[in-house]
A and B are shown apart, each in its own frame.
Chain A
Amino acid sequence: MRNIYFFLFLGIGIQISSAQKTLTTNEINTFKSAVAELDRNTKTIVSDFVQYKHLSFLSNDVETHGKLAFKVPGLVKWEYTSPYNYSVIFKDDKLFIDDEGDKSKIDIGSNKMFKGLNSLITNSVKGNMFDDNAFDISYFKVDDYYLIKFIPKDENMLQFIAKFELKFDIKTSDVTEVKMIEPSEDYTKIVFKNKTRNTTLDEAVFNN
């Protein structure tokens, strides 16, 4: 009898460990072309999001809600609406911040860190950040989604982020979740909800 349980547990163990499957080169190429095609055909993106900040010592993750808007070539508005109002607009090499009515502007043309942040945000929203020069990338299939892991090569970035993990819907090739894992293993997870592409988006959305 005990042996049956042993084999049963062994079976479950094997199933769990096989839940994450590495993609083959062919699967990777097909997936990357699907993401690139989706990106090529995208003029706008609007989405709600929930951000979870996980710190090992907290009882609960810090949860913030908001919405984002993207318009080609590189207009991004990232807006927190709950539990406070805070928005950032990336526009013309500038960062426009509205912190509960306190407005400020940062010239990102001269700021390497913000420039990097801008391209990371834009690319992760679009899902298209398969830059082998910037990251060591590995591709997996888990249940009904693809899990792509990006390990930064840049020493400065490694100071903040040990790894990015992006989840993609297998059917739509659209990114559904971004997780930024710090060297301490604390992380920030952003889950996109109600994401739509190519809806009409007025330029005025990107005015602060």
Chain B
Amino acid sequence: MKRFLIINLCSLFLFTSCAIPTVKGLSEYDTKATAFSNPYFANTKTDYVYKAKIKAYNNDFGGILIIKKIKEKNHRIVFTTNFGNKIFDFELINNEMKTHFIMKELDRKIIINTLKRDFQTLTQEHNTINKAFTNNDGNIIYQSKTQKRFNHYLINQQSQQLTRIINSTHSKEKIIISFSNVKNTIAEHIKIEHKTAPIQIDLTYLNHKE
């Protein structure tokens, strides 16, 4: 009886662990591709400058988000007020984040880790494909494993553009990043939504010189 219970519990665990909500019930797609490249922050010559509106825990902040690919696996991410004062200045190098500056009021581990995960998900260029799926609309979803979670890259069947990145754990969707108005590999509108915390970031591309 005891053994039966253990087997059942284990199979229950295995079953739930496989049921990542983003791809639950979707059919697997046989792809030859082994890697997917996120094209949106991949050009070292482009200054990616966005007007940002952040809503977090009933607080609204406005400012400018600046992202620059310095070299392979290295992005600089700076958020300033409209007046130009820096709120934070991060650098992602090989998936580790270096804080060049952060306002005292925001200098808390939980905030920094949340921002780190958001920007890693947003900017990580080269991703190994773990599995691929198709959804009911015929869009392809590439699943890539990160350290503790999964990133799902949704490719629109018609436009062949990356329209969404969904960051999930085994049981929950955590972050959804939506890209729209894509022109010359620049997503002019980006929305970052947190599913398990009241945080939303809206980004609008500013016509900055390239």
Chain A residues within 8 Å of B, Cβ to Cβ = 51, 53, 55, 57-60, 62-64, 78, 80, 83-84, 86, 88, 97, 99, 102, 104, 117, 159-160, 180, 182, 184, 186, 188
A188 to chain B, nearest CB (A): 3
Partner of B104, one of A99, A159, A184, A186: A159
Partner of A58, one of B51, B68, B83: B68
Question: In the assembly, what is the distance between CA of A117 and CA of B100, in Å?
Answer: 23
A-B contact pairs, 13 of them (CB 8 A): A53-B84, A58-B47, A58-B68, A59-B47, A62-B64, A64-B82, A78-B83, A84-B51, A99-B60, A104-B60, A117-B83, A160-B85, A184-B100
B179 to chain A, nearest CB (A): 20
Given A102-B60, A182-B86, A184-B89: A57 touches B49 (CB 8 Å cut-off) = no
Question: In the assembly, what is the distance between CA of A86 and CA of B51, in Å?
Answer: 10
B131 close to chain A: CB less than 8 A: no
CB distance A57 to B104 under 8 Å? Answer: no
Partner of B53, one of A51, A55, A78, A99: A99
Chain B residues within 8 Å of A, Cβ to Cβ = 45, 47, 49, 51, 53, 60, 62, 64, 66, 68, 70, 76, 78, 80, 82-86, 89, 100-101, 104, 204, 206-210
Interface contact tally, CB-CB below 8 A: 62
B110 to chain A, nearest CB (A): 21
Chain A residue numbers with a CB within 8 Å of B206 are 62, 83-84
CB distance A86 to B104 under 8 Å? Answer: no
CB distance A51 to B47 under 8 Å? Answer: no
Question: In the assembly, what is the distance between CA of A55 and CA of B79, in Å?
Answer: 11
Question: In the assembly, what is the distance between CA of A159 and CA of B107, in Å?
Answer: 13
User: Which partner residue on chain A sits nearest B70 by CB separation?
Assistant: A57
